[in-house]
Structure 1
Amino acid sequence: MTSPAPKHARISIIGAGPGGLTCARILQRHGITVTVHERDADRDTRNQGGTLDLHADNGQIALREAGLLNEFFRLSRPEGQETRILSTDGEMRAHLMPDEGELFKPEIDRGQLRDLLLDSLEPGTVRWGHGLTRLAGPATGPRMLHFTDGSNIETDLVIGSDGAFSRVRPAVSPAIPEYTGVTFTEAWFHDVQNRHPEISTLTGEGSATGADGERALWAQRNSGNHIRVYIMRKAPVDWIARAGLRRDDTAGIRAHLLTEFAAWGQRMKQLITANDGAFIDRPIFALPAPHTWEHTPTVTLLGDAAHLMPPLGVGVNLAMLDASELALALATAPTVAEAIHAYEATMLPRSTETAKMLEGRAEDLLSGDLPPEFADDGQP
């Protein structure tokens, strides 16, 4: 099959996360038709998670190409760049405050970013309730997509933006994410100024973290008077079952965690004892580094589907930069195949370099050492 021109191609993005939606938005700005297939039943099916910092040298570049940078700045929280490093007793060890007007990496809630992108798309772009079950057809195309609702469609290009356990990835790579040995247990706090004033004060306007080398607590302010806490530790991926607990056993999980954090001070342990609602277990996976694949003219990947790494501040930013570069390649190349070549020639070396740098570093999240951006006196 001859590779079609992008403006005449049937382009299907799998996954309506920040990467997939950014790609769709930029394609539409260049007059290219695209459809996004998302397994969620609608935009409100599930909570989108905590807050993100979008960097000037990648995530914000993508939003500029999407024509959404000014709207992002209106929604973002520059004050969220504040960082507090705490002792295990909750005392301040180091404190980074953003300068007046600093916009290098302001925070935005994941849900707000997703809504911003969704609202920028042409009506009907996202097909909700379309979880991919199978990708078929020859590598040269066309491809056939089969969905959970029993429907199927033929397409010329499949863009896998469907995250860590991508259903698109097997079409180009046999790689499977591996457990890093570190797990996050998420806890939520609502109406914090009234219901959790001590936690609000402890966290500040951005994030606050304490660690002892084996475990860590990371509190992160979200908009709407909410705080999310990530209880981070080395543990078996199935630690809840091994402890004889169920995922909905909030009291049992809390008691188990408090045993592990027994030596910590009460100011920090309230991040485990006072949360609203259930805990959510989030084991951290990563793809082997480097993760590359042979060029296929009808399939490519972006974001976590392409280069899943430990959560050390690069994930969504790289996904959005991938999305921007892929969309611009499709907007300028004469054929889809040539656009994929051009995109992967830039994306794969960049992701390989970053993945190698972060390989095996999930445990850095548990380190009790001050981050390198802080000087010996605790000030940057």
Structure 2
Amino acid sequence: SIVIPTPTFSEYEIAAKALGLEIIFIEPIGIKLNLEKILEVIKNKEISGIILCNPNNPTGEVLDYEKIIEIIEIAEKRGIFVIVDEAYYELSENIKTLAPLTIDFKNLFILRSLTKAFGFPGLRVGYALCHSSLTEKFNQTAISWRIGVLEELAAISALEDLDFLKWSKKEIFNEKEKLFNNIKLIEGFSPIPSNTNFFMINISKSGFSPKNLKWRLLSYAILIRELSSVRGLNEPYIRIAIRKKEENSILIRALKNIIYSMKKLYPNNPICIEKKCHLKVEDCSFCFCYFYPCLDNYTGGKFIEREDGSLVWSCIDCIWVHRKDVANILIKKLSGINAKKIEPEEILKIRKDILKVMPP
């Protein structure tokens, strides 16, 4: 069996289940990992391993250094492996790496990623740090061809350019403070402090579900991480990463536009009430089509570039929802639905069903 505290990176749960391992989940205190409970479990139960993310993903929490050492020490005495994921270490502040401890502890594995800090997500490159006695065992179980030539060259080049890392980290945290404060000013959005290059936002008072908000932001070519499926998070959260100044500004404007647009909807009949998009009075960020953004070129929509260079989904050539036959069935199916909380899958299913019998 293996111990996984929650909330954390969900891929470890998926991997453990694929290997047929029993998982002992540790419930959080609020959204913070419960390290005391981990200590209690490893002292009293027979387990094989523990997985920790430091900083934790998706909360951005930096774990208590002394408490982790205590966990590692007790785990070593009981023959338990400890895997610490430091994928975001280089992009974090107020954190102390556990890497030097691999010299002494034979049960400790540190995982690092170059994908995050050096910004080449298309190349899946990482490395592990562990006691020399574990490297042979690791190599025996690892696949033969782990990375290709491109990944290897990119990794070497990145690690030789630490000045870039220092510069980018400084820029990220300067922008993070501005973005965090701007998010706080948006009605219904409560950003959660973090120690790394991303932070969560509690949107429970916004009226939107995480999936719904993610779907609406796609109309601005913005992709966020919605956290509705993350174990251990009992309220609606999204996670955003810090980008360039211009991109962060686009996110803020997009959120404000979405909220402004939704406030104009009739509470019980979210059908387009302005009909201005086809008169070219304002861009489609103020279109009240219930399927917006459908992201479907079939109906005449497409991404267009604004004057500021940002992208937005345009439905300027789509008249489908304004056809009388389509409008009648839309009103029947959609009347009374909560426009903010209904999940995108449900909305798009309605759209798909209508498209089958009433194509553009």
Considering fraction of residues, name the structure with more strand: 1
Relative to the length of structure 2, the TM-score reads 0.24
Considering fraction of residues, name the structure with more helix: 2
Relative to the length of structure 1, the TM-score reads 0.23
Q: Which has the higher contact order (CA 8 A, sep 6+)?
A: 1
